[in-house]
Amino acid sequence: MSKELIMLGTGNAAARHCYNTCFLIRNEAEYFLVDGGGGNTVLNQLDAVNVSCKDIHALFVTHTHTDHLFGVVWIIRTIAQMINQKRYTGTLRIYTHDKVIHTLRTICSLTLPPKIQAQLDCGIVFHELTDGDGFTECGIRFQSFDIHSRKEKQFGFRATFADGTTLACLGDEPFNELNRSSVEGVDWLLCEAFCLYRDREEFSPYEKHHSTARDAGCLAQTLNVKHLLLYHTEDHTLDERKQAYTREAAQVFDGEVCVPDDLETVSLD
């Protein structure tokens, strides 16, 4: 089996020198998109990794913050246009919670032409999730969970591949103990790291309800995971980010630490 993460973006909301955090999960020849970043750059990122929107039929949206949602509007617009031009086969299935659905419908109704809006609930279908709901896409079993955000309703998920490999996406906020059963012991933990612990006074991660690379490493060690992937970072230290974040998390975590750059592919095999 060939399975991998394709990181379209790795930056936080304010990042200007890398794209906002969003990624593809590839399982064999199928793609599952998670969030869309903050704009139409998501289309450029897809082009850069040689993935067409016509190959994307499933999408998970974590929450309504602009750096995760606005790119989804461009995915909807592009795929709806492709459907109208008969260049897209099947449906786009969007999995998310009620607030995201309401927000996307509102934005689309205010900004997209009627012929594009006409594909909502037709060629583009929303699947509303509640805490703990499961679904299967791309040969992967997903279980959603409410991350119990202090700022904005947000869902993460646990993904289980046919060979038993497990991956947990915590969204872009710190882990909540209420989700331990969904996350503990996974093979891959995807976790935000707003900055290095050494730089916490400069970037104030805790005031923004975010974590440092050291915090993420401590969490991964506590949860007994095998691989820790860090994303949603500041973009002031990109030249040294991979080495510095890896080094800091590895000081407190015995497993493998992965700090990908934009457009980097990470094998899950």
Please list the helix, strand and coil fractions of the chain in percent, rounded to the nearest 5, in that order. Answer: 30, 30, 40
Quick: pLDDT tens for 187-207. Answer: 999 999 999 999 999 999 999
Q: What is the DSSP letter of 35?
A: -
* Percent share of the chain, pLDDT over 70: 100
In this prediction, residue 150 carries a pLDDT of: 87
Neighbours of 254 (CB within 10 A): 10
Q: In the chain, what are the domains?
A: 3-267 (3.60.15.10)
Q: 169 and 181 in contact (C-beta within 8 Å)?
A: no
pLDDT at residue 1 is higher than 70: no
Mean local confidence (pLDDT), 42-69: 98
Return the C-alpha torsion angle 22, 149, 103, 16, nearest 10. -40
Q: 189 and 178 in contact (C-beta within 8 Å)?
A: no
Average pLDDT, the chain: 98
pLDDT at residue 219 is higher than 90: yes
Q: What is the DSSP letter of 20?
A: B
Quick: pLDDT tens for 149-165. Answer: 989 999 999 999 999 99
Quick: pLDDT tens for 70-106. Answer: 999 999 999 999 999 999 999 999 999 999 999 999 9
* Residue 229 Cα distances to 69, 78, 223, 255, angstroms: 22, 30, 14, 11
Distance from C-alpha of 31 to C-alpha of 53, rounded to nearest angstrom: 10
In this prediction, residue 30 carries a pLDDT of: 98
Strand order in the sheet with 56-60: 124-128, 92-96, 56-60, 30-34, 22-27, 3-9, 265-267
